[in-house]
């Protein structure tokens, strides 16, 4: 039950990151920190080998290097970079490409939706919500954490982490 309990933390944090990004355009650092610490607790509880842990750390490190570069270039936000790296730690190399493809598709759809919706006036009710007004502003970026979190939840059931949790 302990490993399944730890596995509940991941989806909860993904939902929290997505909702935080939607409402405030920020992903708190504590989300990524809890994801990283949670992964190591989960790996220890599930008996991951050092090689398995190393491969997961490698996946997270690679994504952090790429996303930090994108952040430094002003392409993505810092919260998105940290969330993607912490998520890659959980998913490992085996499902990293799946995650990135799904995130790209979901992020592209979200971006198109926002770009199109910004060309039309908001309905009266929606215009009263501060976060909707902010999202509707053409100067506002895209809350890509939504796509990153949703993609992680789509890919997670295919991973070693998931199968180990169910087997424990």
137 by DSSP, 3-state: which?
A: coil
pLDDT at 104: 97
**Tens-digit pLDDT profile for residues 2-15:** 577 777 899 999 99
Q: Does the CA dihedral 154-61-27-127 come out positive or negative?
A: negative
Domain range summary for the chain, segments of one domain joined by + = 2-167
Taking residue 100's Cβ as centre, other Cβ atoms within 10 Å add up to 18
pTM over 0.85: yes
pLDDT at 17: 98
pLDDT at 1: 45
pLDDT at 127: 67
Q: How far is CA 62 from CA 12, 55, 57, 75, 96, in A?
A: 24, 10, 8, 17, 10
Cα dihedral angle (9, 27, 82, 153), rounded to 10 degrees? Answer: 40
Calpha distance 98→110 (Å, rounded): 18
Both ends of the chain: CA-CA distance in Å?
8
List, for the chain, all residue ranges whose pLDDT scores fall below the cut of 50: 1
Taking residue 58's Cβ as centre, other Cβ atoms within 10 Å add up to 15
């Amino acid at each position: 039950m302990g490993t399944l309990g730890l596995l509940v933390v991941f989806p909860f944090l993904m939902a929290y990151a997505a909702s935080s990004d939607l409402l405030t355009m920020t992903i708190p650092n504590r989300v990524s920190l809890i994801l990283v610490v949670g992964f190591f607790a989960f790996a220890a509880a599930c008996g991951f080998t050092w090689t398995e842990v190393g491969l997961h750390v490698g996946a997270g490190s690679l994504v952090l290097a790429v996303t930090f570069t994108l952040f430094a270039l002003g392409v993505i936000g810092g919260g998105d970079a940290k969330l993607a790296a912490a998520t890659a730690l959980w998913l490992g190399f085996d499902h990293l490409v799946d995650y990135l493809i799904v995130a790209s598709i979901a992020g592209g759809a979200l971006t198109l939706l926002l770009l199109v919706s910004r060309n039309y006036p908001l309905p009266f009710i929606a215009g009263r919500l501060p976060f909707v007004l902010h999202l509707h502003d053409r100067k506002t970026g895209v809350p890509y954490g939504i796509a990153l979190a949703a993609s992680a939840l789509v890919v997670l059931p295919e991973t070693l982490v998931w199968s180990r949790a169910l087997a424990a």
